[in-house]
């Protein structure tokens, strides 16, 4: 039965029977199970990857259904965790593979354990800062990872093979300041662009393990494709021998302090203090997120954001106080929707 399942794939000269056996032996970690992550997970499951570990902290929302193929309206109504809903769908798609779901927030304290007994990582995350953390962990553990992103109507992808090619910090040495880049809530997401990024992440991963590794690691490029115009940009990237991460072995995102999330006694609120010193341009941020909330008010020393029963006070240092949300993780997610 399994031979029949993969017959259209194994007949490809790039795959063959030996390649299919290799695919079925792979153990892949999918970090984030939103649009990109769920799309990649489905492609990997259908291809026959033998073990998938899916990690996500969020629940399915109505706005997800425009681009996240594994979920439906029932998941929204039942407020189902994405990792759980995705795992159950994937088991129905391919019952012969092993799927392990983890409903948790990814941070410096758990990312290395998530990499245990893993051959490769699919990036399905929606925050660039988290990719720097992933990059640190993968370089330290010598695990290849496959970067993908969507910027409006454009798809972006790149392969990171530690010590054989450039890491993320070779290409983008420093993480952008919080709030300086638009989130998908601000700029929108074209569903077809998600599908292209997911397809390329999965293709690059399987090509690396099934094809000629020398060929796969000889030329590293950062690729961006505008789906609206069809224009594609390929930027050659090279390893920086003086890179703080892969060159000098400093894992500042992995070893650095973590965000503090604490309930405020007597206030019915949750305070989120950033792990690193930040400076938010509150007037600029207020303009950018104005359409995302019921009201955005710039006060003398803070930005006040209201959305339904939710009220967020955001300070220039990046510290936030969230009223109307008792779950610390959900409070953190709300802040990230606005700050990035």
Model pLDDT for residues 108-141, shown as the tens digit of each residue: 888 999 999 999 999 999 878 889 999 999 999 9
Q: Which residues participate in catalysis according to the annotation?
A: 184
Can you give the pLDDT at residue 205? 96
Q: Determine if residue 27 is left, alpha or beta; phi over 0 gives left, psi from -120 to 50 gives alpha, anything else beta.
A: beta
| The pair of three-digit structure tokens given for residue 42, joined into one six-digit string | 């489905």
Which of 131 and 180 is assigned the larger pLDDT?
131
Can you give the pLDDT at residue 61? 84
Q: Are 143 and 121 in contact (CB under 8 A)?
A: yes
Can you give the pLDDT at residue 208? 94
Of the candidates 141, 112, 127, which has an alpha carbon nearest to the alpha carbon of residue 57?
A: 127
Mean pLDDT score across all residues of the chain = 89
Radius of gyration in angstroms for the set of CA atoms belonging to the chain, rounded to a whole number: 20
If DSSP codes are grouped into helix, strand and coil, which group holds residue 228?
A: coil
Torsion, CA 213, CA 215, CA 217, CA 221, rounded to 10 = -140
pLDDT at 83 over 90: yes
| The pair of three-digit structure tokens given for residue 196, joined into one six-digit string | 């292209």
**Average pLDDT, integer, range 192-204:** 95
pLDDT at 85 over 70: yes
**DSSP H or E run through 159:** strand 154-160
Whole-angstrom CA distances from 252 to 99, 174, 338 are: 31, 11, 25
pTM, full prediction: 0.80
Q: How confident is the model at residue 209 (pLDDT cuts 50, 70, 90)?
A: very high
Of the candidates 266, 267, 257, 255, which has an alpha carbon nearest to the alpha carbon of residue 318?
A: 257
Can you give the pLDDT at residue 161? 96
pLDDT at 149 over 60: yes
Across the beta sheet with 120-123, the strand order is 98-103, 51-56, 27-31, 120-123, 145-151, 154-160, 221-226, 232-236
pLDDT at 196 over 60: yes
Tell me: domain 258-339, CATH 3.30.310.10, correct? yes
**Average pLDDT, integer, range 175-188:** 68
Tell me: domain 2-254, CATH 3.40.50.720, correct? yes
| The pair of three-digit structure tokens given for residue 337, joined into one six-digit string | 């929707």
Domain ranges of the chain: 2-254, 258-339
């Amino acid at each position: 039965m399994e031979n029949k399942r993969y017959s259209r794939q194994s007949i490809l000269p790039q795959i063959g029977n030996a390649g299919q056996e290799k695919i079925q032996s792979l153990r892949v970690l999918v970090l984030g199970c939103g649009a990109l992550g769920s799309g990649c997970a489905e492609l990997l499951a259908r291809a026959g990857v033998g073990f998938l570990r899916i990690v996500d902290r969020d629940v399915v929302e109505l706005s997800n259904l425009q681009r996240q193929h594994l979920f439906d309206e029932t998941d929204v109504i039942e407020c189902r965790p994405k990792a759980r809903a995705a795992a159950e769908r994937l088991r129905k798609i391919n019952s012969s593979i092993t799927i392990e779901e983890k409903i948790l927030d990814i941070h410096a304290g758990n990312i290395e354990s998530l990499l245990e007994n893993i051959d490769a990582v699919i990036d399905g995350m929606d925050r660039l800062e988290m990719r720097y953390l992933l990059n640190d962990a993968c370089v330290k553990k010598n695990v290849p990872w496959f970067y993908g992103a969507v910027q409006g109507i454009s798809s972006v992808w790149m392969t990171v093979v530690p010590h054989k090619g450039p890491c993320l910090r070779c290409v983008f040495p420093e993480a952008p300041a919080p709030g300086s880049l638009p989130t998908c809530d601000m700029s929108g997401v074209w569903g077809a662009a998600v599908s292209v990024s997911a397809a390329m992440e999965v293709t690059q991963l399987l090509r690396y393990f099934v094809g000629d590794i020398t060929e796969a690691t000889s030329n590293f490029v950062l690729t961006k494709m505008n789906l609206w115009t069809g224009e594609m940009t390929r930027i050659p990237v090279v390893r920086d021998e003086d890179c703080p991460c892969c060159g000098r072995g400093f894992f500042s995102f992995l070893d650095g302090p973590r965000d503090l999330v604490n309930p405020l006694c007597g206030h019915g609120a949750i305070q989120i203090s950033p792990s690193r010193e930040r400076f938010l341009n509150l007037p600029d941020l207020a303009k950018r997120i104005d359409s995302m909330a019921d009201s955005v008010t710039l006060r003398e020393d803070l930005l006040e954001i209201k959305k339904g029963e939710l009220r967020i006070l955001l300070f220039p240092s990046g510290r936030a106080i969230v009223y109307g949300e008792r779950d610390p993780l959900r409070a953190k997610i709300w802040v990230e929707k606005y700050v990035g």
